[in-house]
Amino acid sequence: MKLDKRDFDAIVVGSGPNGLAAAILLQQKGLSVLIVEGKSEIGGGLRSAELTLPGFTHDICSAIHPLAAGSPFFKTLPLADHGLAYIYPEIAGAHPFDDGTAAVLKKSVEETARLLGVDEQAYLNLMQPVVNDWPLIAPDVLGPLHFPKHPLAMARFGLPALTSAAYLAHRFDTEKAKGLLAGMAAHSMQPLTNVATSAIALVLIASGHLQGWPIPKGGSNSIANALASYFISIGGKIETDFYVRSLEQLPSSHAVLFDVSPKQLLQIAGHKFSSLYKWQLERYRYGMGVFKVDWALDAPIPFTAPECTQAGTIHIGNTMREIAYTEQQTWSGSHPEKPFVLLAQQSLFDSTRAPAGKHTVWAYCHVPNGSTVDMTSAIENQIERFAPGFKERILARHTMNTAQVEEYNPNYIGGDINCGVIDIGQLFTRPALRWSPYKTSAKGIYLCSAATPPGGGVHGMCGYYAAKRVLKDVFGR
């Protein structure tokens, strides 16, 4: 396909949430912006499809979106006017245990704490300040390293956030509270002994208390479609089915923003970069990958713990000790027999996802980067462990190993859906140690993907801050 060759003020390569966010901000400022997407559909990790059987809509990558609903930038956009509707389960997340009970994350901080028994006060002491301060500090936490606008509030968050989840768990006495924390921290895709794994847990929990963990009605692609619809409504242009392999393929522009991984950026524009910048990108570290399974079911999952039937998201891994052990095993290159599983059951709350009486289920476990080991049985055994009879309800399944995940979205190197490890070494210096992480060493070339701060997640803030950098550097705004 040939692109429109007229000149643009800015071109964004890649239409994931960060690419869309960058393009929208630039277009809002009166610039002419073109988005170029290699696939036939826009969205990056925000796509949905009938992966198993006709009439069953599955989210291919991201499924539950607390950070999208709470994004400081997305919240300023009229996305509801462009077809986006969120559904909020009564319980944001549930964490079942072998004894048939479950820890739960509810909208109310007090109710969540009360259900933790003797750890009620410890939970309130930890989470109430974070929840109270989050509206003030969210733009700073979800952005590049800089002096915060509210330093005291940021300090209150930073003290627990910069510890490891394993250390923070010592605040609690019960396995229920520790397990709830571990399931949240495991989203970091790192050993729970790593510094700053607590930050991921605190952000996710606070998001659940402030606005819940919503499901986009109709599929995750509805978020991307709403963003694209708004972008086009303010004059933006999108071209699909055009995979960019070199800068020479693109029309003339003052700035190009890449919603791609550092590996892809090197392939496309590496010849333009300084030797130091290339050296840093070549040493950028990618983390654990994922093995994903989607199921079509003839009935809901029969979880033993009744709370799990009311939750959109389920963290399957039992105790803090077990989750920490299996995540460390995976980080070290092994494939645990009982992996930590993240599961979403969107059709319980969104009837558009499956035929009447039928259901969809989405789940993945972490695996070593680049692994092609089939983890289907291990994942299904873990679900069966907490929901006896689950396997009997399977009508069809669709699996993706890390190679297939990367083929679907080239940003996910080796199946790493975070586009690079988000540990203390790459938290604020991703993808390179620079005054601005969004600005490359080449004039007019910028990076706006999850390989820049604040990292992975559907929030658009990487693109938002990259666009702000472009506005200042290139257009003097």
Question: Mapping DSSP to helix (H, G, I), strand (E, B) and coil, where does residue 328 land?
Answer: helix
Tokens (6 digits) for 178: 């520790």
Tokens (6 digits) for 303: 């979880």
Residues 6+ apart with CB under 8 A from 279: none
Do 297 and 358 contact (CB within 8 A), yes or no?
A: yes
Facing residues of 289 across strands? 367
Q: Where in the chain is the domain with CATH 3.50.50.60?
A: 8-84+216-285+419-473
End-to-end CA separation in angstroms for the chain: 34
Q: What are phi and psi of 141, to 5 degrees?
A: -65, -40
pLDDT value of residue 278: 97
CA 332 from centroid of its chain's CA atoms: 23
Tokens (6 digits) for 326: 């299996």
Of residues 184, 307, 265, 208, the one with CA closest to residue 437: 265
Of residues 4, 6, 3, 36, the one with CA closest to residue 22: 36
Low-confidence ranges of the chain (pLDDT < 50): none
390-416 residue pLDDT tens: 999 999 999 999 999 999 999 999 999
Q: Where in the chain is the domain with CATH 3.90.660?
A: 86-214+287-408
Residues 6+ apart with CB under 8 A from 60: 45, 47, 48, 49, 51, 220, 408
Class of domain 86-214+287-408: alpha beta
- Alpha helices by DSSP H, listed for 116-190, are 120-141, 151-161, 165-168, 175-185
Tokens (6 digits) for 170: 């010592």
Amino acid, res. 45: G
pLDDT value of residue 470: 98
Q: State the pTM of this model.
A: 0.96
Is domain 8-84+216-285+419-473 annotated with CATH 3.50.50.60? Answer: yes
C-alpha radius of gyration, the chain, whole number? 21
The span from the CA of 339 to the CA of 336, in Å, is 5
Q: How far is residue 314 from each of residues 37, 335, 341, 386, measured CA to CA in Å? A: 33, 21, 8, 11
Helix, strand, coil percent content, the chain, rounded in steps of 5: 40, 15, 45
